[in-house]
Chain A
Amino acid sequence: MASKEKSTNSEKMNEAPHDWEKEVQATLELAESIQAAEPSPFFKERVLARLDIETEPMLKRNWLRRNRLAIAAAVLLLAVNAFTLLQYSSPEAPSQGAEGVEAIAEVYEMTLDSKY
């Protein structure tokens, strides 16, 4: 009986590997059979295009960003000038001005009537 058990045990030891052992081995071996791959066509062209964007002169791309205050001031100045020009070039402007002066003169009793 004991010898029968012993021979069964030794049979088991010499048995073929379990299925899972074969799977483990096959999976590990797969690592060494993976082929090298190549990038898609025009890979180089895409890299060069990205490089062009990256190395575009800072002055060209950031000029607006660096001078934004100066540009804003210039725009404001132009707007004020334009407004002023429009105001003084309109036909109503002189009479409005003259009425204003007369009103001030009346207040201080400096009209021609009051003076003379």
Chain B
Amino acid sequence: MEDEKLIESLRQGSQLAFSQLIDSYQNRVFSTCLNFVYNTQDAEDLAQEVFLEVYRSIGKFKGDAKLSTWIYRISVSKSLEHIRKFKRKKRSGTLLSLAGLQEAGWDVKANEIDHPGVQLENKERAATLFRAIASLPESQRTAFTLNKVEGRSYQEVAELMEVSLSSVEALIFRARKNLKKRLENHYKNEM
């Protein structure tokens, strides 16, 4: 179904249209969420939320961007919301964990990585990489993940993040620099 017809059918509450939408976008939406949260269960929950949000908000979609861009924006937004929630839990968890009342929250360990896209022999390295990415400021993390991990072009990243092309280039440059610094510290301390 073409985008326009699909959007119109979705606005009318068509379940068939919604089913087709899921068929078309489930892999990419899930993959995007997974590349932010690093485990399958959370990524699936988030992906479900994304589609429900699309269904609820289709009336607000103005058509100023492609339908796919809008859907991926929601995916990124939901993923970042999830991460912020976990970071808040972790901050409060630290105090509680010091008091022995709660286990510490978000911390990317190798045994927590459940990313089917990472081969088994790379799990430790992936954990190190994800920990380093997770420590970046949100905008750098988003740009780096969308470009380097997801393989999107700078143009696509700019559309998704609603920033200019030059901003994307700057974000990725800074992200790489920061990642290199963090990884250097990590490996120098290890050796």
Sort chain B's interface into a size bin.
35 or more
Would you call B23 and A34 a contact (CB within 8 A)? no
Would you call B15 and A48 a contact (CB within 8 A)? yes
Among B152-187, those with CB < 8 Å from A are 176, 179-180, 183-184, 187
Closest to A52 in B: B15
A47 partner, pick from B51, B180, B184, beta carbons under 8 A: B51
Would you call A37 and B40 a contact (CB within 8 A)? yes
Would you call B52 and A50 a contact (CB within 8 A)? yes
Would you call A34 and B117 a contact (CB within 8 A)? yes
Would you call A37 and B52 a contact (CB within 8 A)? no
Would you call A40 and B44 a contact (CB within 8 A)? yes
The answer to whether the Cβ of A56 comes within 8 Å of any Cβ in the partner chain is no
Sort chain A's interface into a size bin.
20 to 34
- Residue interface mask B43-81, A partner, CB < 8 A = 1: 110011001100100000000000000000000000000
The answer to whether the Cβ of B85 comes within 8 Å of any Cβ in the partner chain is no
Closest to A49 in B: B48
Docked pose: A24 CA to B150 CA in angstroms: 20
A32 partner, pick from B28, B132, B149, beta carbons under 8 A: B149
Docked pose: A38 CA to B34 CA in angstroms: 10
Instruction: Write the nearest CB–CB distance from B119 to chain A, whole angstroms.
Output: 8
List chain B positions with a Cβ less than 8 A from chain A: 13, 15, 18-19, 22-23, 26-28, 30-31, 34-35, 40, 43-44, 47-48, 51-52, 55, 115-118, 122, 125-126, 128-129, 132-133, 144, 148-151, 176, 179-180, 183-184, 187-188, 190-191
List chain A positions with a Cβ less than 8 A from chain B: 19-21, 23-24, 26-28, 30-32, 34-40, 43-44, 46-48, 50-51, 54-55
